[in-house]
Amino acid sequence: MKSRLAFIAATAALSVSLAACGGGTPATGGSSTLELQTGVAADTSEMATLKSIAADFEKANPGKKINLVAAGTNYENDIKVRLSSGNIPDIWMTHGWSLLRYSKFLTPLQNEPWAKNVAPALDPVMKDKDGALYAMPTNVDITGIMYNKDVLAKAGYKPEDLKTWDDFMKASLKAKANGVASAIYAGGKSMAGTILDHVISGAYSQYDLAKMTSGTFVGDKYAQALDLIAKWRDAGLFNPDYSSATKTDMSKALAQGQALFEFGPSPIANDALKFNPQANVGFIPIPSLNGSPSYLDTGERTAYGISKTSKDVAGAKAFLAFLAKPENETKMAAASAAPPGLTDAKMSEGPLNSSYDTYVTQAKTPAVPYFDRVYLPNGAWSTMGNNTDSIITKQSDVNGAVQQMESTYKSLFAQGK
């Protein structure tokens, strides 16, 4: 499986080696119940896998109980409320922000036995300048635009035909003309920001990005990305049930050929197999708005950290060590249809593997970090989602959305967030 991730090794020194036998650290400290905010929905493959692993841990550690809590519709906000109130879970999924947002609340984990196996590609986003690590990753997030291969073929296009956003639009319109329910299916407001986060990196030059990191908001490029989404809206490419749709609906639509394209995390493709075991899905690189080569997005996705205030930090560390066992890490990566976050786990076969082979291993497609996690201040994600949702639903025009983000950017940057 090392060859499948050769590109990641080249761009971020990531390697995935074959799993070796190993055991997790046994829990100590007597009986306790650990609350784990999973960050995943109740009906996902990741949750099912977590339940199985937690049950195995409890059998191996009598007296220890793992209380798995499924994510609500606004997980990020839920965690913010828990942290601000002091009612902090023992363990929670850091959804890409273990270092930049949550590190002050988390127990350092760089000295845990499994820490030496963290995929090097995650070092820049999960470790600080001193090498401190605050979460255990179960996968590496590397995504493009998901699509239904059969729907695209019926529209008369091949993946390699989609080099520009004009190509994307033409294929979408052809699919719509063929009767596909939604050329672009999106899971409501909670998934809106993901669309912009995929598109926007291709609008900014390196010069623009340097300005964004130094406190100068580059609004014209932000507007360019929103203009593209508004163009899709005006062409009727989004699903009619956008406002009420969920991630589960996205998986179902992708599986059943009711959607051509989707912007979202890789588990959506994996969960599609629940609705259609023969679902023929993959991903393509993201076209650039500024003429640069197409790219993929990458970063931390599913990772779990331990609260500094947990009454059983030792027990929580023992669970993460159990989760980090190669066989369990392999299962978690497979459930998310993504490469594993630890190098002693295996890359399992999944619905996106042929796309990994094509665009990661063979084509060595450039990978860029998620835009919001590097170039927007901490706390701007919700505004990014609101911006995109307001464009899709016509509650705002592009100029108004840009002004909203600029105001948020300046305010948060001034606060040092």
Read off the pLDDT of residues 104-160 as tens digits, 9 standing for 90 and up: 999 999 999 999 999 887 888 899 999 999 999 999 888 899 999 999 999 999 999
Q: Which pair of structure tokens corresponds to residue 214?
A: 């130094």
Mean pLDDT of the chain, nearest integer: 90
The pTM for the full model equals: 0.79
Highest mean pLDDT among 18-27, 96-105, 193-202, 376-385: 193-202
159 with 282, same domain? yes
Residues 397 and 257 in one domain: yes
Instruction: State the Cα–Cα distance between residues 14 and 63, nearest whole angstrom.
Output: 37
The CA distance from 256 to 279, in Å, is 7
What is the rounded CA–CA span in Å between residue 191 and residue 210?
Answer: 27
Quick check: 1 pLDDT over 80? no
Which CATH number characterizes residue 199's domain? 3.40.190.10
pLDDT of residue 388: 98
How far is Cα 362 from Cα 18, in angstroms, rounded to an integer? 21
* Amino acid at site 203: A
Same domain, 289 and 317: no
In the prediction, which pLDDT does 12 show?
A: 37
Last residue of some domain: 329, 348, 367?
367
| Residue whose structure tokens are 């980090």 | 324
User: ∠72-27-89 over CA atoms, to 5°?
Assistant: 25
Same domain for 313 and 281: no
CA 309 to CA 82: how far, in whole Å? 12
Residues 152 and 136 grouped into a single domain: no
Give the separation between CA 111 and CA 290, rounded to whole angstroms: 43
125/264 same-domain check: no
Amino acid type, 265: P
Pick the range with the lowest mean pLDDT from 37-51, 178-192, 221-235, 339-353.
339-353
Q: For position 15, what pLDDT does the model report?
A: 33
Q: pLDDT over 70 for what percent of the chain?
A: 93
Answer yes or no: is pLDDT of 4 > 60.
Answer: no
277 and 406 fall within a common domain: yes
In this prediction, residues 70-74 reach a mean pLDDT of 88
Across residues 65-71, what is the average pLDDT?
97
pLDDT at site 135: 98
pLDDT digits (tens, 9 = 90+) for 302-352: 999 999 999 999 999 999 999 999 999 999 998 988 889 999 998 876 889
Question: Same domain, yes or no, for 159 and 224?
Answer: yes
| Span 239-255, average pLDDT | 96
Mark whether 117 and 21 lie in a shared domain.
yes
Type and span of the H or E element at 305 = strand 303-306
Cα distances (Å, whole numbers) of residue 317 to 135, 168, 175: 10, 46, 49
Residue 27 is predicted with a pLDDT of 56
Whether residue 254 sits in one domain with residue 389: yes
Question: Does residue 19 sit in the same domain as residue 135?
Answer: yes
Residues 355 and 397 in one domain: no
Q: According to the model, what pLDDT value does residue 350 have?
A: 82
Domain count, the chain: 2
The domain of 257 spans 144-296+371-414
Query: Is the pLDDT at 90 greater than 90, yes or no?
Result: yes
